[in-house]
Amino acid sequence: MMQSRSRTLEFRALEKEDAVAMQELEARCFSLPWTEEQCRTAFGQSAFAAFGLWNGRELVAYVSLYHSLDELEILNLAVSPERRRQGLGRHLLQMALQAAHKMGIRKSLLEVRESNAPAIGLYEGAGFRLAGRRRAYYHDPDEDALIYTRPAPSDEA
Protein backbone atom coordinates (compact mmCIF):
# COMPACT_ATOMS: atom_id res chain seq x y z
CA MET A 1 0.00 0.00 0.00
CA MET A 2 1.07 3.55 -0.55
CA GLN A 3 0.02 6.57 1.47
CA SER A 4 -1.30 9.78 -0.07
CA ARG A 5 -1.74 12.98 1.92
CA SER A 6 -5.05 12.08 3.48
CA ARG A 7 -6.03 8.65 2.16
CA THR A 8 -4.63 5.18 1.79
CA LEU A 9 -4.42 3.90 -1.76
CA GLU A 10 -4.58 0.16 -2.39
CA PHE A 11 -2.26 -1.28 -5.06
CA ARG A 12 -3.26 -4.55 -6.72
CA ALA A 13 -3.29 -6.45 -9.98
CA LEU A 14 -6.39 -5.71 -12.03
CA GLU A 15 -8.68 -8.57 -13.07
CA LYS A 16 -11.34 -9.00 -15.75
CA GLU A 17 -14.03 -7.72 -13.40
CA ASP A 18 -12.13 -4.41 -13.19
CA ALA A 19 -12.49 -3.81 -16.96
CA VAL A 20 -15.36 -1.33 -16.51
CA ALA A 21 -13.41 0.79 -13.99
CA MET A 22 -10.33 0.68 -16.24
CA GLN A 23 -12.35 1.75 -19.29
CA GLU A 24 -14.02 4.58 -17.34
CA LEU A 25 -10.62 5.90 -16.21
CA GLU A 26 -9.28 5.63 -19.76
CA ALA A 27 -12.24 7.63 -21.09
CA ARG A 28 -11.21 10.45 -18.74
CA CYS A 29 -7.55 10.31 -19.78
CA PHE A 30 -7.32 9.40 -23.48
CA SER A 31 -8.94 10.74 -26.62
CA LEU A 32 -9.28 7.18 -27.98
CA PRO A 33 -9.90 4.93 -24.95
CA TRP A 34 -10.34 1.19 -25.17
CA THR A 35 -13.91 0.00 -25.19
CA GLU A 36 -15.10 -2.25 -22.40
CA GLU A 37 -15.01 -5.18 -24.85
CA GLN A 38 -11.37 -4.42 -25.76
CA CYS A 39 -10.47 -4.31 -22.06
CA ARG A 40 -12.15 -7.65 -21.36
CA THR A 41 -10.48 -9.21 -24.42
CA ALA A 42 -7.06 -7.98 -23.24
CA PHE A 43 -7.65 -9.48 -19.78
CA GLY A 44 -8.33 -12.83 -21.43
CA GLN A 45 -4.83 -13.00 -22.91
CA SER A 46 -2.11 -14.69 -20.88
CA ALA A 47 0.53 -12.13 -21.86
CA PHE A 48 -1.58 -9.18 -20.63
CA ALA A 49 -1.32 -7.73 -17.13
CA ALA A 50 -2.52 -4.58 -15.44
CA PHE A 51 -1.92 -3.02 -12.04
CA GLY A 52 -3.97 -0.32 -10.39
CA LEU A 53 -4.21 2.03 -7.46
CA TRP A 54 -7.62 2.20 -5.81
CA ASN A 55 -9.13 4.78 -3.47
CA GLY A 56 -11.93 2.70 -2.01
CA ARG A 57 -14.04 1.73 -5.04
CA GLU A 58 -12.48 4.31 -7.37
CA LEU A 59 -9.63 3.31 -9.69
CA VAL A 60 -7.33 6.35 -9.63
CA ALA A 61 -4.40 5.05 -11.71
CA TYR A 62 -3.42 1.98 -13.70
CA VAL A 63 -0.69 0.64 -15.95
CA SER A 64 -1.29 -2.09 -18.54
CA LEU A 65 1.31 -4.19 -20.33
CA TYR A 66 2.06 -7.17 -22.53
CA HIS A 67 5.07 -9.37 -22.01
CA SER A 68 6.97 -12.16 -23.67
CA LEU A 69 9.70 -14.23 -22.04
CA ASP A 70 12.29 -11.51 -22.54
CA GLU A 71 10.48 -8.24 -23.24
CA LEU A 72 7.87 -6.06 -21.57
CA GLU A 73 5.75 -3.62 -23.58
CA ILE A 74 3.96 -0.95 -21.61
CA LEU A 75 0.62 -0.26 -23.31
CA ASN A 76 -1.05 2.47 -21.29
CA LEU A 77 -0.49 4.35 -18.09
CA ALA A 78 -3.39 6.46 -16.87
CA VAL A 79 -3.73 8.64 -13.79
CA SER A 80 -6.98 10.31 -12.81
CA PRO A 81 -6.76 14.01 -13.82
CA GLU A 82 -7.34 15.05 -10.19
CA ARG A 83 -4.27 13.10 -9.02
CA ARG A 84 -1.71 13.79 -11.71
CA ARG A 85 0.64 15.74 -9.47
CA GLN A 86 0.96 13.02 -6.82
CA GLY A 87 3.62 10.85 -8.46
CA LEU A 88 1.26 7.90 -9.00
CA GLY A 89 2.34 7.38 -12.62
CA ARG A 90 6.00 7.20 -11.61
CA HIS A 91 5.16 4.77 -8.80
CA LEU A 92 3.12 2.44 -11.03
CA LEU A 93 5.74 2.47 -13.77
CA GLN A 94 8.48 1.47 -11.31
CA MET A 95 6.31 -1.30 -9.86
CA ALA A 96 5.64 -2.71 -13.37
CA LEU A 97 9.35 -2.63 -14.21
CA GLN A 98 10.26 -4.35 -10.93
CA ALA A 99 7.64 -7.05 -11.55
CA ALA A 100 9.11 -7.62 -15.02
CA HIS A 101 12.60 -7.92 -13.57
CA LYS A 102 11.39 -10.57 -11.09
CA MET A 103 9.93 -12.50 -14.05
CA GLY A 104 13.34 -12.46 -15.76
CA ILE A 105 12.41 -9.85 -18.37
CA ARG A 106 15.45 -7.77 -19.21
CA LYS A 107 14.12 -5.31 -21.80
CA SER A 108 11.18 -2.90 -21.64
CA LEU A 109 9.74 -0.79 -24.41
CA LEU A 110 6.86 1.53 -25.09
CA GLU A 111 5.47 3.76 -27.79
CA VAL A 112 4.45 7.33 -27.04
CA ARG A 113 3.00 10.17 -29.06
CA GLU A 114 5.60 12.77 -29.95
CA SER A 115 3.23 15.47 -28.66
CA ASN A 116 2.88 13.84 -25.20
CA ALA A 117 5.57 15.78 -23.34
CA PRO A 118 4.43 14.74 -19.81
CA ALA A 119 4.63 11.03 -20.70
CA ILE A 120 8.01 11.47 -22.38
CA GLY A 121 9.31 13.23 -19.27
CA LEU A 122 7.98 10.42 -17.05
CA TYR A 123 9.59 7.70 -19.19
CA GLU A 124 12.92 9.49 -19.57
CA GLY A 125 12.96 10.03 -15.80
CA ALA A 126 12.55 6.26 -15.39
CA GLY A 127 15.58 5.55 -17.58
CA PHE A 128 13.88 5.01 -20.95
CA ARG A 129 15.79 6.32 -23.97
CA LEU A 130 14.58 7.07 -27.49
CA ALA A 131 15.32 4.07 -29.74
CA GLY A 132 13.35 4.79 -32.90
CA ARG A 133 10.10 5.81 -34.50
CA ARG A 134 7.07 3.97 -35.93
CA ARG A 135 5.62 5.85 -38.87
CA ALA A 136 1.86 6.52 -38.86
CA TYR A 137 1.38 4.37 -35.76
CA TYR A 138 -1.70 6.12 -34.39
CA HIS A 139 -5.07 6.65 -36.08
CA ASP A 140 -3.79 9.84 -37.70
CA PRO A 141 -1.46 8.73 -40.53
CA ASP A 142 0.68 11.81 -39.93
CA GLU A 143 1.28 10.93 -36.27
CA ASP A 144 4.29 8.75 -35.55
CA ALA A 145 5.05 6.88 -32.35
CA LEU A 146 8.36 7.39 -30.60
CA ILE A 147 9.78 4.10 -29.36
CA TYR A 148 11.53 4.19 -25.99
CA THR A 149 13.46 1.29 -24.45
CA ARG A 150 15.34 0.55 -21.24
CA PRO A 151 16.87 -2.44 -19.53
CA ALA A 152 15.10 -3.84 -16.48
CA PRO A 153 16.15 -2.39 -13.12
CA SER A 154 19.25 -3.93 -11.61
CA ASP A 155 19.07 -6.17 -8.57
CA GLU A 156 20.38 -3.34 -6.42
CA ALA A 157 17.45 -1.03 -7.29
10 Å CB burial of residue 14 (0-12, 13-18, 19+) is buried
Q: Active site residue: 73, 111, 137, 138, which one?
A: 111
> The dihedral of CA 12, 98, 145, 115: what is its sign?
positive
Please say if 123 is a catalytic residue.
yes
Q: Active site residue: 26, 62, 123, 148, which one?
A: 123
10 Å CB burial of residue 118 (0-12, 13-18, 19+) is exposed
**Could you count the other beta carbons within 10 Å of the beta carbon of residue 143?**
13
**Whole-number CA gyration radius for the chain:** 15
**HSE (CB half, 13 Å, CA atoms) of 81?**
6
Residues with catalytic roles:
111, 123
